[in-house]
Amino acid sequence: MTTVATTDQTPNGKPSEPPPGLCCARCGCNHFYTLRTTKKQGGQIVRERKCRNCGRRIMTYEKAAFS
């Protein structure tokens, strides 16, 4: 049997960073289902999302960036 030790540091000794993007505050998972998408005035998009792991629901508010 092989045992693998996990640490919170990268091989160069610096602290590891959390994965980019949305992360569930309850379980730490970063995989979500999108349940509903609504467009608001002013170009804002509101999405209701559900964590695939623990089922927690969150709302995200997005605004398109125009170049």
**pLDDT at res. 22:** 86
* Residues in contact with 25: Cβ distance below 8 Å, sequence separation at least 6, in sequence order: 56
pTM listed for this prediction: 0.62
pLDDT digits (tens, 9 = 90+) for 9-67: 556 666 666 557 888 889 888 899 999 999 998 889 999 999 999 999 999 999 877 75
Inter-CA distances, 37 with 1, 8, 29, 52, Å: 47, 36, 21, 17
